[in-house]
Each structure stands twice: as structure tokens, then as C-alpha cells.
A and B are shown apart, each in its own frame.
Chain A
Amino acid sequence: VTRPSRNGGRAVLLALSLAACGPYGELAQKLDVTARIAGDTWIAAGPNRATDTRVLLVGRPDPNGVAPFAFTCVADDCPTPVPVKNVPPPIGAATLQGTWSEVGSGGDATLRVAYTYATPADTGAQAGGSQRNDTPYALHLTVVRTGNRLVVSGDPQLSGTYVALSDALAGLGTATARDAACAYQVASLSIQGSETRIIGFGGGGMVQYRQPATYVGTIAGSVTVSMSGLTPPIEMRIRYDGFEDEGGVRLDGTQVTTTGWDGKGSMSSVVRFTIAPPSLDPATVTTPITGGIDYSGITLNGTASGSYHVTIDGGGTGDVSAVGAPSPSVAECLNLP
């Protein structure tokens, strides 16, 4: 069992061992239940600004005032409102999906959660990996809009001062190694959000992807998971095709993880990112930030080591360590309140 740091976790989560299949799964469970959302993405720092990030996507309301929403927490521990089987705390990432409705002008909002996802911070072949609880429930929040901010209170997991992601992304630079690291941290949020929805991710249940499966992006695109080889080298491929879980951050390319039965191995290939903040005002549209995350510097030996090599096209390059807390943090990169 591995308790990776958040940075390294994404690599370690992919390590598998065919010697174990993880805990029993849910019967007759559909893998992908995500409904597409066209709306606004908001982002906030959690209580621990160095590691906690919250992303809220709220769609356009229907005539009844009901809008689809998706919420993702990435942190050292993201406790979910309801327990998710086979995901013991600490929870490294969690996602809620459902509908959002506001009554009156006082900011009273009711979230009807249809799906609760969780990824354990502890991973490995004996772990269950990412799981989903399909039990519906409701959360009540108070939402106050102040300028370009959304102040959410009423639930400790979702509370925070959110800013529009498009505004936050507009402050990203492209020239320095720090800019490259920030681009990685922003892209990594989308990658981690996608991994939370991949059933079995980070656990022995990944062996089910001998038959590939595709999950849609919440906003656009898709991610396809496939595994080949029952004898070493075992190759796990996670391919992003125009994948967009957060407005303005798109992923393309494939993460390749090659391991033996003991889970030891390496990663390879490149995932490209396009950071293009959407804007209704053409005058404020900025040039997209494009680049790639090269995984070939990551080795898996019980835990991840090495670094992600990040390149911004026509700009800075940098290496982000797979070990330790994100540096710089997402809150620092995006100047989150």
C-alpha cells in the first residue's frame, strides 16, 4: 500500500499488480454516468491552501431554475458527504455530480447529488481505487455572488470563496520554469478529476480495462482507459481526446504506464494541454497556453519518483517533482483568494 504525495500520487495510482483484484465491486454498475455540462467553472482554495483545491462547474439553469453541477475536490483529504464503499479516508480526490437549484434571492441553494466519487489517498493493488456511490442525497448551501466571486457556505467540503476559472487562468504566464510548473498544476487538476471518475483507478480493479472503456469529459471530449498484457510488461494507457473537465483547460495525448506484476515500472509518453480561458468579450481573449507533460521521467518502485517534464510551446520549461506537495501550489499559481 502506498501513500503517495499528491504530486506523485497520479503516477503511483497507475501501478498495478495482477496478483490482486481489489475489493469486490458493485454489481451491474455502469462505468460512465457523467452528463455533459455547459456552464461556468469556478475555483477556490481549500483550508490548506498548499494542497487543497476546489473546482465547481455549474451549468445553465433550465426553465425551472435547475442546473446541472459538478464539484471536484483535490486535497490531502476530501471527506465526502456520504461514505463511498471501499474508499477509506484519507480521500485524495472526490467529485459530486447532480443538480443545483436556487430558491429566492437569498442565495439558498439545494444541491441534489446523484453521484459521489472518491479516490483513496492510499493506493495499490489491494486497494479499491476510485469508486462511486449512486445513492442520491441533498446538500443545502448559501451562495452569495460578489463581483466576480462566488462565496459558498453551509457545507465544509464545498465552502469557500470561488473565482471564475477563466479570470484566474488569465493571470498565468508562459516564460519561466515557474510558469511551466503552474501550467502543470492546472492541467493536473483536470487529470486528477478524470481519475476520480475512472472506476477502479489506483487499485487492482484496473484489470477490468482489458476491455477498454471511455468516459466523457464533463464539458467536452473523452478519456479512454485500456490495458494490455496479462504478463509483464503490463501496459496501462489513459488517452485524452479533447478532454475538458474544467472550462478552458483541454487535454490531449496518452499516459502510458508499464509495470510488472509487482507494480514496479515506469511511465512514458506525453499529454498535451491547452489552457484557453473562455471569454464572452473578444477583447479579453488571450493566446492559448499550449504545451506538454512528459511522463518519461517517472519511475514506479512502490512509490513514484522522478519528475514530470513540462514544456510550454515557445516558452518556459521545467521539471515538477513527483514527490512532495505541489510547488508552487494551485492557489499561488492562480492567485486564489
Chain B
Amino acid sequence: VIAPFVLALALGAAEPVTLPLDPAAAASVASPAEVDPALAGSAAPEPALATSVAPTLPPSPPAAGPSLGGWRHAFAVGAQVNWLLSNEDSQYQFRSASFGYHGSIGARGAFLDLSYLVPLQARQDGATYSTADYYRTRAGLDLLVGFNLRWALPRNLEVEAGPGVHGTFIYLPGREGFREFTASPLGLGASGTCSWRTGKRWLSRAVTLGGSLAAAWDFSDPAHAGDLAHGWTLRLALTVGLGGRT
């Protein structure tokens, strides 16, 4: 949880956006003469150097924002809950910390949510267990791959959402003398993210902060003898990412 806040503070301390410094870009900036023909001849043309022009320009208006196309990348930290109901009527619940990556391409394109899970607490049929007490390793993976759409909203917000196929793998090898538990439910899900362009940029991309929500209905676990009657997955996370090129 601390990591995204530290990153947000670092981003907050970063330099604000400035005009491009490369000569080619600077050359494209209109000279005063081009802006007002009356000024023509009143002064010798100055070399179109960005360094000399930039300070004289008024503050740039709020950017129109990057296009909806291109890649989006984000790192996510959050919490995930997996519910499983077995064919023997046992109800399992796993509450995990999640550390993930969200990537998508295009205004209408593919997306991928990949999270590493650390199951912290588990429940079965009403009994709750701290996983650290019974399992020597607590790990899991969650993958949601699908197709999503992007929308631009006011106030520098951008939303993505779409359906996909889902899989979770939970791996809990027991401490000495205790039984191992694994689960690998598969199903269908959906993911949605809302990101806000901070006004900062990095690697020529807008830096974003946001949140994501993913949900899935799981209905198959072929690696466990089809013991899964059905299950649900819900993940909520904070994101720090890179938006479109600015």
C-alpha cells in the first residue's frame, strides 16, 4: 500500500511539463512575425531557439490530452477476494494482497491484467485461518485477458472497461505437518480502470493515477477434478501508470 503513495509523492516532486526542447519542435513554434504581420520588419528575425522562446510564451492552456489510442501501462496495488464453492458444498474464501500490471492497447483493443497474489487470510465453512500459521509459502497469480474500450472524460479522466477470460492460481504448500492447498479456478470476468492524468509526464507519456476493479465468475477447475461448483473473484486496486503520449 505504501509503494504507490511513495511513487505519487515522487511524481508530485517531479518537474512540471515544459515545452519541447528539441530544435525541430522549437522551429515549429510561431515567431512573433508570424503571429502578427505588423511586427514584420520591426525586428530582425531571431534564431528559433526553444530556450529563448519558451520563457516568453504564456502558460499553456490545459492540454487537450493525448489521443485515446496507443498503449496504457499501469502498476496496481490492491486487494483480491476469491470465493470458491466445491461440489462437496465446502465454501472457501481467500483474501489476498495483490500486486499487478495492467496493460492495454488502442481505443478498442486487447487488455491484460496480471497480478501476483499473497493470500493473507483463508476461510472454509465459517472457520477463518491466518495463512501464515499453516502455510510455508503463500502465493498466487491472477490473469484476466480480454478486449476493452476507452473513453475520455472531463477533468483529465480516462476510463477503460471490457470483458475477458479469467484464471486464478492459489498455491499454499503446508508448513511441516500440515496439508497443502491449491486451487486454479477458471472463468469469465471483466475489468475496468479509471485513470487521471496528473499533468506530469515520463517517457513522453502522461503519468496517471487511478483505480481498477475486476470481477470474474469462475466455473471450472479441471486441475482439481472439476470440484469447483462455481466461484467469484473480486479485485480492487490503486494504479499508477503511463497514459497516452503527450
Contact = CB atoms under 8 A, between A and B. Distances in A.
A31 B133 contact: no
A21 B173 CA distance: 13
Interface in B158-183: 173-174, 176-183
A23 B223 contact: no
B129 interface: yes
Contacts of B227: 22-24, 86
A128 interface: yes
Nearest to B123: A27
B92 A24 contact: yes
Given A28-B129, A28-B134, A22 B181 contact: no
Contact of A23 (B133, B178, B179, B225): B225
A211 B88 CA distance: 27
Interface residues of A, number: 28
B87 A23 contact: yes
Contacts, number: 84
B90 interface: yes
Contact of B183 (A24, A32, A86, A211): A24
A128 B179 CA distance: 13
B84 interface: yes
Q: At the interface, is chain A mostly helix, strand, loop or mixed? A: loop
A29 B179 contact: yes
Interface string B179-200: 1111100000000000000000
Nearest to B86: A24
Contact of A22 (B84, B122, B123, B225): B225
A204 B225 contact: yes
Nearest to A215: B177
B31 interface: no
Given A26-B124, A28-B122, A29-B179, A20 B223 contact: yes
A21 B88 CA distance: 16
Interface string A204-243: 1101101101000000000000000000000000000000
Interface string A26-39: 11111110000000
Nearest to B184: A21
A324 interface: no
A44 interface: no
A29 B122 CA distance: 12
A21 B86 CA distance: 14
A23 B224 contact: yes
Contacts of A21: 182, 223-225
Closest 10 pairs between A and B when the two form their complex, measured CB to CB: A208-B180, A23-B227, A27-B124, A29-B179, A28-B134, A126-B225, A28-B129, A85-B88, A23-B225, A24-B86
27 contacts: A20-B223, A20-B225, A21-B225, A22-B225, A22-B227, A23-B88, A23-B227, A24-B84, A24-B224, A24-B228, A25-B181, A26-B179, A27-B124, A27-B129, A28-B122, A28-B127, A28-B133, A28-B134, A28-B178, A32-B177, A128-B225, A199-B179, A200-B179, A205-B180, A208-B174, A211-B173, A211-B180
Interface of A: 19-32, 85-86, 126-128, 199-200, 204-205, 207-208, 210-211, 213
